[in-house]
Chain A
Amino acid sequence: MSESEPLLVLHEVRKSYGELVETEVLHGIDLTIERGEFTALIGPSGSGKSTLLNLIGLLDRPTTGSIRIAGRDTAGLDDTELSLLRAETLGFVFQFHHLIGALSAIENLMMPLSVRSGRLREGDRERALAALTDVGLAARANARPSEMSGGQQQRVAIARALVHHPALVLADEPTGNLDTITANDIFALLRRFNRERSSTFLIVTHDPRMAARCDRIISLVDGLVDSDVRNLQAESH
Chain B
Amino acid sequence: MAEKPQISSGMASANFSSLPVILLLGLFSLPLLVMYAYLFIDTISDTEVGSLIPSEFTLRHWSFLWETKTGKPNIWLVTLNTFIFASCITGVVLTVSSMAGYVLSRLNVPARGFFLAGVMVLHAFPSVTLIIAIFIVLQWIGLYNSLIGVILVKAAVELPLGIWLMKGFYDTVPWEIEMAGTVDGASRFTVWRRLVLPQIRPAVMALGLFSFLTGWSEFIMPQVLAPGAKVQVLSVYLASLIIDDNNFDFGTFKAVGVFYVVPVLILYVFFQKHLMNIYGGGSKG
Chain B binds chain A: no
On B, residues with C-beta under 8 Å from A are none
On A, residues with C-beta under 8 Å from B are none
